[in-house]
Amino acid sequence: MFRRRRWFVVAVFYAFVLLHQADKLLIGPLTTPIMEEFGINQAQMGAVSSFAIIVAAVLYPIWGYLYDRYARAKLLALASFIWGITTWLNALARTYGAFLVTRASTGIDDSSYPGMYSLLADYFEPRIRGKVYGLLQTAMPFGYMLGLVLATALGGALGWRKVFFLTGGLGVILALVIFLGVKEVPRGRAEPEMEGVEQIPSFTFDWQVAKRILRSPSMRFILIQGFFGVFPWNVLTYWFFRYLETERGFTGAQATLTMMVAIVSLAGGYFIGGVLGDFAFRRTLRGRVLVANTAALLGMVLLVLTLSIPNQQRLLFTISMALTGLVMSWPTSNVSATIQDIAEPEVRSTAYALTEFISNTGAALSP
């Protein structure tokens, strides 16, 4: 019964990440009609996204503490409800100032992911966590694609406000599903040391434990990697489409197709990286780190080789870009699983939240 229920939880969280990412990234393809309606320039539109990122970054440590202190399932339901309500408020805004403030409020739930990873760590034992996280993380690039499809298919016919009402409504529905269907489990339940233990001790946030994990050399390395590791990702995210058009002479349609191929490869890499990390972890405790570091080095080499391909060889460039995306995403699921491996159950959400806070700082600086 428990094994069936945990895969139901994965399915619910997958839907959350998929639809939440679609809602979060929907504003990109809808930028032009929004700018035209409010009569704003690029700098003002850029502030809309920046404010939401700042709100999310600031709230990461707060969400992490709350998840380690209280029931994670109920807090995730609250986060989904906040997603829906703030998106609705954003759709109702009639002035640029109101739009800026309400869009910033959508960042509140953008930092709600630490509890999800922590709860799944208590549903799944360490030997398969990488695969589970890798599967969940495929929802992020697919969410981007879904947002693009929704904006293209519905934006012109319905208008950007009604599209926001639609995605916000999905957030409210998911809040109800999570509240009623996702059950809390004791922290540390899936650890090998707890196997056969009938009464699992109750773990809640402890400042001393939190300080200890922050002093861990492994955690410090993850935080440093989290800051600098996002630089290539965000440079590509922000500028790669323009690079294809201006440096390589791709048309908009060709650039979109190339990006779609890369995104699908990226999604596959999350899962493959998780599977490889689990395989290596079962043979050595450093297995996930070895897979992540190997992928980082190989991804760097592939990226340099890809960018060196002559402009005339577009098919070879697209294939090479897909292979690069496949390898570059291997470390993500392994880093997520490693945090859960090295952090005590009572501070896992806080440890993950701190990593995301540092990563968001790097993401803000890298473009």
Tens of pLDDT, residue by residue over 192-243, are 765 655 666 666 666 777 778 778 888 888 888 888 877 777 666 667 777 7
Task: Note the pLDDT of residue 296.
Answer: 87
DSSP 8-state secondary structure symbol assigned to residue 29? T
Segments forming the whole domain that contains residue 158: 2-190
Distances (CA, A) of 312 to 138, 240, 247, 269, 318: 32, 18, 12, 27, 12
Are 217 and 300 in a shared domain? yes
Domain CATH for 282:
1.20.1250.20
Would you say residue 164 lies in a domain? yes
Cβ-based burial of 198 (10 A; exposed 0-12, middle 13-18, buried ≥19) = exposed
Taking only the tens of pLDDT, the chain with its 367 residues reads 667 789 999 999 999 999 999 888 787 777 778 888 888 887 888 788 788 888 888 899 999 999 998 999 999 999 999 999 999 999 999 999 999 999 999 989 988 999 999 999 999 999 999 999 999 999 998 988 888 788 777 767 788 888 899 999 999 999 999 999 999 988 877 777 656 556 666 666 667 777 787 788 888 888 888 888 777 776 666 677 777 878 888 887 788 788 888 888 988 999 999 999 999 999 998 999 999 999 989 988 998 999 899 988 989 999 998 999 899 889 989 999 999 888 888 888 988 998 888 887 777 776 6
Would you say residue 197 lies in a domain? no
Would you say residue 199 lies in a domain? no
Give the pLDDT confidence of 37-57 residue by residue, as tens digits.
888 887 888 788 788 888 888
Phi-psi region of 30 (alpha: psi -120 to 50; beta: other; left: phi over 0): alpha
Q: How many domains does the chain have?
A: 2
Are 93 and 186 in a shared domain? yes
Torsion sign over Cα 140, 306, 291, 234: negative
Are 141 and 241 in a shared domain? no
Task: Note the pLDDT of residue 172.
Answer: 96
The last residue of one of the domains, among 144, 159, 190, is 190
Would you say residue 200 lies in a domain? no
Task: Say how far apart CA 90 and CA 219 lie, in whole Å.
Answer: 37
Cα dihedral 93, 96, 102, 104, rounded to 10, equals 160
Are 186 and 218 in a shared domain? no
Task: Note the pLDDT of residue 131.
Answer: 95
Are 233 and 275 in a shared domain? yes
Would you say residue 109 lies in a domain? yes
Task: Note the pLDDT of residue 124.
Answer: 93
Are 138 and 265 in a shared domain? no
Would you say residue 241 lies in a domain? yes
Task: Say how far apart CA 113 and CA 60 lie, in whole Å.
Answer: 9
- Answer for the pair 232, 332: CB distance below 8 angstroms, yes or no: no
Are 106 and 217 in a shared domain? no
Are 179 and 30 in a shared domain? yes
The last residue of one of the domains, among 163, 190, 217, is 190
Cα dihedral 29, 44, 140, 299, rounded to 10, equals 100
Would you say residue 158 lies in a domain? yes
**Whole-structure pTM value:** 0.87
The last residue of one of the domains, among 145, 163, 190, is 190
Task: Note the pLDDT of residue 63.
Answer: 94
Are 16 and 123 in a shared domain? yes
- Answer for the pair 18, 146: CB distance below 8 angstroms, yes or no: yes
188: Cβ contacts below 8 Å, ≥ 6 apart:
122, 194, 200, 201, 203, 344, 345, 346
Are 210 and 342 in a shared domain? yes
Are 62 and 185 in a shared domain? yes
Are 163 and 230 in a shared domain? no
Q: Residue 86 corresponds to which tokens in the numbers above?
A: 């703030």
Would you say residue 198 lies in a domain? no
